[in-house]
A = this chain, B = another copy of it.
Amino acid sequence: MTITPERLDSMFRPRSVALIGAADKSMFSAGAYRNLVNFGMAGRVHLVNRRGVEVHGRPSLTSCQAIGEPVDVALMMVPQAATIGAMEDAAEAGIKNVIVLSSGYGEAGEDGKQAEADLVAAAERLGMLILGPNMLGFANYSARTAVTAVPVTPGTGDGAVALLSQSGASSSAMVDYAGASGADLSFMVTLGNEAMITAGHILDYLVDDPGTKAVAIFLETIRDPEAFARGARRAAAAGKAVVALKAGSSDLAARTARAHTGALVGDDRVTDAVLRELGVIRVDSIEDMLVTAGTAASVGRLPRRGTSAVSISGGACDILADRAADEGLDIPAFAPETTEKLAGVMPGYGTVHNPLDVTGAAIIDPTIWTRAIEAAGNDPSVGSVLMINGIPTEDSPTATLQRPTYAAIAAGAERSAVPVIWVSQVQQPVTAYTRELLAEYGNPPVIPGLVQAVKTVSHLGWWSQAVDQAAKGPADVALPAPAHDAPRSGQWSEHQARELLASASVSVIGSELVTSADDAAAAAGRLSPGGPVALKIVSPQILHKSDIGGVALGVTGADAVRAAYEKVTAAGGSVEGAEVEGVLVSPMRSGGLELLVGVVRDPQWGPVLAVGLGGVLVEVLKDSALATLPVTPARVTGMLRSLRGAALLDGVRGTAPANGAKLSEEIARIGNLALALGDDLESLEVNPLRVDGDIVEALDAVIEWRTR
């Protein structure tokens, strides 16, 4: 079944709803009915109870077919075993959409997986669309519709943040926090096992929803990578931020997630790279997810990544500066013209820099706020202004005393070229009093707490820059047409791997495959006249050449080369069943920097390129960067610069700075060769790729195919 936004509309904007398995004793039923009443849908709900008893103070019907009028959505609260039967009844009554709350499906072992497959098969047979199972329904706030057991309140109907959650049990806390943090919701959808409708489909639907300006998603796994990527790219193109809290970054969480949703959690670092490529903001807490989505919905794209802060507390400025350094948020120095303007604003003892402490003088003269915010908000390197001050949650003498200050701040914000975000020093709820007060001052965006403000503005700054590229999708690169004779199976010999790389224009260190001691000596003379060479046994069956004595390094002189040839071939001959192709002779290199460039197949996202600096940096610190393929040289440059050891490329300890452009081109070529090899490839690794100033060359390579 094709799941289009049009098709989803009948699910998410139902004219009427049936509660199947409605019962007074069911907490789910009671909660769902209470929501329907609160959302003004009491007249559009039908209660179905097998025994036809009075439920929630109303008569019930014994089946959907007894309803006698069209119904758009059935909320299934019957036990798992009775679900398909209830669906058949609903289908008979012409109901096209069902929401399945019960658990015991994909998350519950092999039996559950089978039950889920049966559920989907039944839905397809009946022409029905399923939301769930193992979830708690949805609320569409703009359409004033709630078909959910999660306690929800109607709100203003003007909410702009859609919240999707794979976890039903956490959704209530998320909804509460959205309210408390001022992130007004447009949608709340619990996703459950996503047997038919996945996060990607809903994302796609929400891109077209005029009320939704940003989407917050809590995920344990991305079940339909293709739909998710499509939805995310469309959201990027529409300038709607997608903020994801993706669980499973730790080994422990991966284990936990597997246990409780039956979801296969992929490699978290790949997820990280993919989300970045899709322009999805990845956060690490529910709070960060909702505040960031709420702020994105309110301020949209920021013109620049750098931010400025204006506060009456020097202490707050210090904490902000520290956390900004931790999060990589740029707080640029003010331009000379800004500094000059501010010097005219600030009292004599104040110091003009970013973040700006307006000092106690602003209590006596609130216009200092106005002028400071105006100046900061027109600085050429600033993309937002954080106004840090107490924001009252209830009426008090202090709140009243602060009113001239708020008016002065609002006046400054009107003259700012960039968004001015109000930030409280600590986490605090946005209360009804706060909302009323803010409404008087133009409803500014608000972030609770300094630490959260740094995180959110850092996220939004990144997103504002990343979103164009994300909308474009994969780069348009010309893939090579690699030529080779050997069959695509097992592991190839180093010689075969080198030839393949060379055929795709990857620079490979000169080498010759020889089959006699004399040829070895001659090759050494050609490849490294008077200098040392390396000799390595070549056989697809010998994976760990040096372990069996199949490698000789730093061999100088014809006699020594001949002796080394005999040694490594003898070692090769001792390995049972090894087909020895010969011995590879290549020059020894010293100096320069070694990198590891590898491509592996991710089960969800296809071939993934990993780039790391060699030696201890990769082995001990796992310092590497990932990207899906294809990659452009510019993307590779970004990957290299993101490495913790990136400074090594600029030349330290007397080594020449690497030719970055050339290095990135070579790496992109390796990646795109892997992509060109298609689904047959299991992995391709160049280790090391050596760079020494302008010289970039692969010294060794391993290729493995999926067919053993």
Residues in chain B near residue A317, CB distance under 8 A: 253, 256, 260
A331 in the interface (beta carbon within 8 A): yes
With contacts A173-B390, A312-B169, A451-B285 known, is A322 near B428, CB below 8 A? no
| Most chain B CB within a 10 A radius of its CB, from A251, A253, A398 | A253
Q: Is the CB of A319 within 8 A of B645?
A: no
Instruction: For chain A, residues 190 to 232, give those with C-beta under 8 angstroms from any C-beta of chain B.
Output: 218, 220
Whether B363 pairs with A27 at a CB distance below 8 angstroms is yes
Residues of B within 8 A of A645 (CB): 616, 620-621
**Are B256's CB and A177's CB within 8 A?**
no
A326 within 8 A of B: yes
Q: Is B616 a contact of A245 with CB atoms below 8 Å?
A: no
- The docked-state distance in angstroms from the alpha carbon of A326 to that of B429 is 27
Q: Tell me whether B324 and A250 are in contact (CB under 8 A).
A: yes
A82-90, A352-360, A406-414 - the one binding chain B: A352-360
Q: Does A401 contact B (CB under 8 A)?
A: yes
> How many angstroms from the CA of A259 to the CA of B112 in the assembled complex?
64
A313 lies within 8 A of B249 (CB): no
Contact string against B for A residues 343-376, beta-carbon threshold 8 Å, 1 for contact and 0 otherwise: 0000001010101010010010000000000000
Judge whether A568 is part of the interface by a CB distance below 8 angstroms. Answer: no
Knowing A220-B315, A284-B451, A397-B34, say if A360 contacts B103 (CB, 8 Å): yes
**A325-B252, A355-B256, A621-B645 known; A428 and B363 CB under 8 Å?**
no
Nearest B residue to A646 via CB reads B620
Q: Which residues in B have their C-beta under 8 angstroms from that of A325?
A: 249-253
A619 to B259, CA, bound (A): 43
Does A314 contact B355, Cβ atoms closer than 8 Å? no
Of A390, A424, A448, A620, most buried by chain B (CB within 10 Å of CB) is: A620
Q: Is the CB of A426 within 8 A of B314?
A: no
Cβ contacts under 8 Å, A349 to chain B: 103-104, 107-109, 112
Q: Which residues of B contact A247 (CB under 8 A)?
A: 315, 318-319, 321-322
- Closest chain B CB from A455 CB (angstroms): 11
Indicate if A323 sits at the interface (CB-CB under 8 A). Answer: yes
Number of copies of chain A assembled together: 2
Question: Does A652 count as interface, using CB distance less than 8 angstroms?
Answer: yes
Interface flags for A305-319 (1: CB within 8 Å of B; 0: not) read: 000000011111111
Cα–Cα, bound, A326→B351 (Å): 37
- The interface bits of chain A over 156-169 (1 if a CB of B lies within 8 angstroms of the residue's CB, else 0) are 00000000011101
Number of interface residues of A (CB under 8 A): 89
Interface string of A259-279 (1 = CB under 8 A from B): 111000000000000000000
Q: Does A644 sit at the interface, judged by CB under 8 A?
A: yes
Chain B residues with CB under 8 Å of A617's CB are 616
CB distance from A568 to the nearest CB of B (A): 19
CB A517 to nearest CB in B, in angstroms, measures 28
Alpha-carbon distance A651/B228, docked complex (angstroms)? 44
A694 within 8 A of B: no
Q: Tell me, in angstroms, the Cα distance from A126 to B321 when the chains sit together.
A: 41
Tell me the minimal C-beta distance from A107 to chain B in angstroms: 8
A668 CB within 8 Å of chain B: no
Residue picked from A34, A248, A314, A619, most chain B C-beta under 10 Å: A314
Q: Are B256 and A353 in contact (CB under 8 A)?
A: yes
Contact call A169/B620, Cβ cutoff below 8 A: no
> When the two chains form their complex, are residues B177 and A427 in contact, meaning their CB atoms are under 8 A apart?
yes
A174 within 8 A of B: yes
- CB-defined contacts of A621 to chain B, threshold 8 Å: 621, 644-645
Residues 401-421 of A at the B interface (beta carbon under 8 Å): 401
Q: Is A286 an interface residue (CB 8 A)?
A: yes
Residue ID in chain B nearest A288 by CB atoms: B451
Supply 12 A–B pairs (Cβ within 8 Å), ascending by A.
A167-B314, A169-B313, A170-B313, A173-B425, A174-B426, A250-B326, A252-B325, A256-B314, A256-B321, A285-B323, A427-B448, A428-B429
Q: Which residue of B lies closest to A644 (CB)?
A: B621
Q: Name the CB-closest residue of B to A251.
A: B325
Q: Please tell me if A653 contacts chain B, counting CB pairs below 8 Å.
A: yes
CA distance A172 to B170 in the complex (A): 33
Residue on B nearest A170 in the bound complex, by CB: B315
Given A251-B325, A451-B285, CB of A652 within 8 Å of CB of B426: no
A112: B residues at CB distance < 8 A: 349
Is A444 engaged at the interface, CB distance under 8 Å to the other chain? Answer: no
A151 at the interface (CB under 8 A from B): yes
B residues less than 8 Å from A176 (CB atoms): 390, 426, 428
- List the B side residues contacting A34 at CB < 8 Å: 397
Complex formed: what's the CA distance from A229 to B331 in Å? 34
B250 near A321: Cβ-Cβ < 8 Å: yes
Known: A177-B427, A325-B250. A316 touches B170 (CB 8 A): yes
- B249, B314, B648: the one contacting A616 at CB < 8 Å is B648
With contacts A109-B349, A169-B313 taken as known, whether A252 is within 8 angstroms of B324 at the C-beta atoms is yes
The 9 tightest CB contacts between A and B, nearest first, are A167-B315, A250-B325, A247-B318, A169-B313, A173-B425, A260-B314, A253-B321, A170-B315, A259-B351
User: Contact: A321 with B252, CB < 8 Å?
Assistant: yes
| New A-B contacts (7) at CB < 8 Å, excluding given A256-B353, A260-B318 | A108-B349, A167-B313, A173-B316, A174-B426, A176-B428, A256-B355, A616-B616
Report the bound CA distance from A166 to B521 in whole Å. Answer: 76
Q: Which residue of B lies closest to A220 (CB)?
A: B318
- Residues of B within 8 Å of A220, CB to CB, are 314-315, 318
How far is B108's CA from A216's CA once the two chains are assembled, in angstroms? 46
A180 interface residue per 8 A CB criterion:
yes
> What 0/1 pattern do residues 238 to 256 of A give for CB contact below 8 A with B?
0000000101111111011
